């Protein structure tokens, strides 16, 4: 019976099939950091196929697959269904509304995510942090209705996906140091992720102010450097010619260079 329920959850709720290697191969979650798994970013990323993988560098193929599967499960459980008053709900949030057994099922689903994360041999400290998030989530959900709303806002599965990503990032950096190679950009970091040409900090096509300013500087526009009141203005060079009202080009009024003194009459 438990085996049948597990297969139903994996296939119907989490939509893990042979096509996506049972959750381990999903381009959408390969290109989205755990810290950016909100619905707007996911929707934006799905339309930007050219975004590079947002996975910490230095990881093995197996570690990358586990991270993708954990992020995918966290999104399905925490945010995949609908939005209400700006708050995203997933399967875990909805199941928590079921009286009595809802919170128990919610815990079992969250432990399933931790079990998947443990496939990369997590140290006890990281596993304890994940279990602690589940315990907080469980006690919040015990409060009728308001607790279930707070439970949907807490999103323990997404928190645990971020914990796993941070731990694997440190592991990947250690692997790179041991190999003596130069570390490539880490696109799992939000500041690196949002500097991609296809992204520029955009969600729904609207760039953030910081990313827009960075892009403006890179394209040679005016800007300021420095901090506080001590700032230096950078202006584009003046044009060497301009166009008159009749359409003819008018040369800029540049004073002529003085001629050499040789051959001058006294």
| Three-class DSSP labels, the chain | CHHHHHHHHHHHHCCCCHHHCCCCCCHHHHCCCHHHCCHHHHHHHHCCCCCCCCCCCCCCHHHHHHHHHHHHHHHHHHCCCEEECCEEECHHHHHCCCCCHHHHHHHHHHHHHHHHHHHHCCCHHHHHHHHHHHHHHHHHHCCCCHHHHHHHHHCHHHHHHHHHHHHHHHHHHHHHHHHCCCCCCCCCCHHHHCCCCCCCCCECCECCHHHHHHHHHHCCCCEEEEECCEEEEECCCCCCEEECCCCCEEECCCCCCCCCCCCCCC
**pLDDT higher than threshold 50 for residue 153:** yes
CA–CA gap between residue 253 and residue 46 (Å, rounded): 54
Least confident window among 93-102, 109-118, 220-229 = 220-229
Tokens 């931790």 belong to residue: 114
pLDDT level of residue 161 (50, 70, 90 thresholds)? very high
Q: What mean pLDDT comes out for the span 47-69?
A: 89
Judge contact between 160 and 113, C-beta under 8 A.
Answer: yes
The neighbour count for residue 169, using CB atoms within 10 Å, is 21
Could you tell me the two tokens for 230? 């001590």
- Residue 206 burial class via C-beta count within 10 angstroms: exposed 0-12, middle 13-18, buried 19 and up: exposed
CB 92 within 8 A of CB 148: no
For residue range 11-24, list pLDDT tens digits in order.
777 878 887 777 88
Looking at the predicted structure, is the pLDDT value of residue 81 above 80?
Answer: yes
Low-confidence winner among 28-32, 69-73, 174-178, 259-263 (lowest mean pLDDT): 259-263
pLDDT at 218 over 60: no
Tell me what pLDDT residue 211 has. 46
Q: Who has greater pLDDT, 71 or 251?
A: 71
Predicted model pTM: 0.71
Weakest mean pLDDT among 47-56, 107-116, 127-136, 197-206 = 197-206
């Amino acid at each position: 019976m438990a085996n049948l329920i597990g297969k139903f959850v994996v296939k119907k709720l989490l939509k893990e099939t042979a096509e996506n290697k049972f959750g381990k191969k999903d381009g959408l979650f390969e290109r989205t950091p755990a810290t950016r798994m909100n619905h707007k970013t996911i929707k934006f990323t799905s339309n930007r196929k050219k975004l590079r993988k947002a996975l910490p560098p230095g990881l093995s193929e197996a570690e990358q697959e586990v991270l993708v599967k954990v992020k995918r499960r966290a999104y399905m459980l925490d945010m995949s269904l609908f939005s209400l008053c700006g708050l995203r709900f997933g399967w875990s949030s909805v199941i928590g509304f079921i009286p009595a057994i809802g919170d128990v099922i919610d815990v079992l689903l969250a432990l399933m995510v931790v079990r998947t994360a443990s496939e990369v041999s997590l140290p006890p400290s990281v596993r304890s942090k994940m279990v602690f998030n589940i315990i907080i989530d469980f006690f919040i959900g015990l409060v009728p209705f308001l607790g279930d709303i707070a439970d949907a806002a807490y999103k323990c599965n997404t928190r645990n996906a971020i914990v796993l990503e941070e731990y694997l990032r440190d592991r990947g950096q250690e692997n790179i140091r041991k190999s003596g190679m130069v570390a490539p950009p880490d696109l799992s970091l939000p500041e690196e992720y949002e500097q991609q040409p296809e992204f520029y900090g955009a969600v729904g096509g609207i760039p953030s102010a910081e990313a827009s300013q960075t892009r403006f500087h890179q394209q040679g526009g005016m800007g300021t450097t420095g901090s506080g009141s001590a700032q230096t203005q950078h202006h584009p060079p003046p044009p060497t010619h301009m166009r008159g009202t009749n359409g003819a080009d008018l040369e800029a009024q540049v004073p002529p260079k003085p001629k050499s003194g040789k051959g001058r009459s006294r």
